[in-house]
């Protein structure tokens, strides 16, 4: 179905789209392979892959034919010639200069161009999720939430290190259905919670500390992303105020999130709450980003995200306040933009948990 969306870029029967990058091949074929080429013409689509993958691809790939690849210059060039193709449009953003040169060398009978229109068409398709894609993201998210429940109930207590918390999240996700981690898990405590992307180390949790965990699972190629900040023992008045401000900012962005508003307007809704509370200088990053076959994809939801949101977009809503040398708070959910507004894909509670 998505492969057909690429045909709109092809102006006549002598043109082909060539998908080379691992992530876009996976998106269009549903099949993970470190190597291969998807060739789409107006009448046909073939996924060329080598002997390591050909049997599995033949069983798994539904939307196009599969063919054995030995050398790009043989099978793919031969196919293009047979189809009367003279022009090949390929990706731009994920192709190195070397790779483009190699494509041109291997396909000397075609005019090969790194095509802006193709790149945009791919992004347009990827940004709007089908029901099946949303289901995969939700499944990944449920695995991550179960991991959070596990560490809240069994792992986080005074004396445990950041690294132990991070590893417990990772082990739980990977042993409960995740095919991979969405990214390297962030688990930081104490003063390190003021570092938005701090690396888990040997620092130990103590009473009165915040613990920020930012993590996600991959399921059937689709990522999830969530952040929760919890406390142990007790919290100060300032900690509570910062937490409540971040929570209110996150809610404001969620309420603003609907089709037709620009990502930057969603960011602005959250940012205003944080600025009004006097913490504007301590929210340095953008509010959110798209999530799908990549952990960070379009559409963006930061101060410079001009693109308007559309129904089917999945974007994160993750404001934070980071007070250097003291502590930080971030809360992150994933929102699905719907016809009338948005639906939060994250089920975990957002209210401050003090363990």
Closest C-alpha among 22, 16, 223 to residue 139:
223
Give CA 110 to chain center in angstroms.
Answer: 34
CB of 226 to Mn ion, least distance (A): 8
CB of 295 to Mn ion, least distance (A): 7
Q: What is the 3-state secondary structure (H, E, C) of the chain?
A: CHHHHHHCCCCCCCEEEEECCHHHHHHHHCCCCCCCEEEECCCCEEEEECCCCHHHHHHHCCCCEEEECCCHHHHHHHHHHHCCCCEEEECCCCCCHHHHHHHHHHCCCCEEEECHHHHHHHHHHHHCCCHHHHHHHHHHHHHHHHHHHHHHHHCCCCCCEHHHHHHHHHHHHHCCCCCEECCCCEEEEHHHHHCCCCCCCCCECCCCCEEEEEECEEECCEECCEEEEEECCCCCHHHHHHHHHHHHHHHHHHHHCCCCCEHHHHHHHHHHHHHHCCCHHHCCCCCEEECCCCCCEEEEECCCCCCECCCCCEEEECCEEEECCCEEEECEEEEEECCCCEEECCCCCCCCCEC
Which lies closer to Mn ion via its Cβ, residue 104 or residue 343?
Answer: 343
CB of 337 to Mn ion, least distance (A): 16
Which lies closer to Mn ion via its Cβ, residue 122 or residue 331?
Answer: 331
Footprint on this chain of Mn ion (rule: CB under 5 A): 225, 316
CB of 180 to Mn ion, least distance (A): 16
Which lies closer to Mn ion via its Cβ, residue 117 or residue 285?
Answer: 285
CB of 185 to Mn ion, least distance (A): 12
Which lies closer to Mn ion via its Cβ, residue 49 or residue 316?
Answer: 316
Which lies closer to Mn ion via its Cβ, residue 141 or residue 316?
Answer: 316
- Which residue, judged by CB position, is nearest to Mn ion in the bound state? 225
Which lies closer to Mn ion via its Cβ, residue 225 or residue 297?
Answer: 225
CB of 281 to Mn ion, least distance (A): 21
Which lies closer to Mn ion via its Cβ, residue 36 or residue 196?
Answer: 196
Find residue 315's DSSP bridge partners.
290, 335
Which lies closer to Mn ion via its Cβ, residue 127 or residue 225?
Answer: 225
CB of 314 to Mn ion, least distance (A): 11
CB of 316 to Mn ion, least distance (A): 4
Distance between CA atoms of 334 and 244, rounded to whole angstroms? 19
């Amino acid at each position: 179905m998505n492969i057909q969306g690429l045909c709109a870029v092809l102006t006549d029967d002598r043109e082909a789209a060539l998908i080379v990058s691992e992530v876009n091949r996976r998106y269009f074929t549903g099949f993970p392979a470190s190597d291969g080429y998807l060739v789409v013409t107006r009448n046909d689509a073939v996924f060329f892959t080598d002997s390591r993958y050909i049997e599995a691809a033949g069983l798994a790939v539904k939307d196009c034919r599969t063919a054995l690849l030995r050398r790009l210059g043989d099978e793919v060039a031969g196919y293009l010639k047979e189809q009367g193709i003279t022009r090949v449009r390929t990706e731009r953003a994920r192709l190195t200069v070397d790779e483009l040169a190699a494509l041109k060398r291997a396909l000397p009978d075609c005019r090969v161009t790194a095509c802006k229109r193709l790149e945009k068409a791919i992004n347009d398709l990827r940004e709007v999720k089908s029901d099946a894609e949303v289901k995969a993201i939700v499944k990944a998210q449920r695995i991550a939430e179960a991991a959070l429940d596990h560490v809240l109930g069994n792992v986080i207590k005074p004396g445990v290190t950041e690294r132990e918390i991070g590893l417990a999240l990772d082990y739980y996700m990977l042993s409960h259905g995740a095919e991979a981690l969405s990214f390297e898990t962030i688990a930081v405590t104490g003063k390190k919670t003021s570092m938005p992307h701090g690396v888990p180390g040997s620092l130990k949790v103590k009473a009165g500390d915040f613990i920020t965990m930012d993590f996600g699972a991959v399921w059937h190629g689709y990522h999830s992303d969530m952040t929760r900040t919890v406390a142990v023992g007790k919290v100060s008045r300032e900690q509570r105020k910062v937490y409540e401000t971040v929570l209110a900012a996150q809610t404001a962005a969620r309420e603003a999130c609907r089709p037709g508003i620009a990502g930057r307007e969603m960011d602005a809704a959250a940012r205003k709450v944080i600025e009004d509370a006097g913490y504007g200088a301590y929210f340095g990053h953008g509010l959110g980003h798209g999530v799908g076959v990549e952990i960070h994809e379009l559409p963006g939801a930061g101060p410079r995200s001009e693109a308007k949101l559309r129904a089917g977009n999945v974007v994160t809503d993750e404001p934070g306040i980071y007070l250097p040398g003291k502590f930080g708070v971030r809360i992150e959910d994933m929102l699905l933009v719907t016809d009338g507004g948005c639906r939060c894909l994250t089920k975990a509670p957002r209210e401050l948990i003090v363990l």
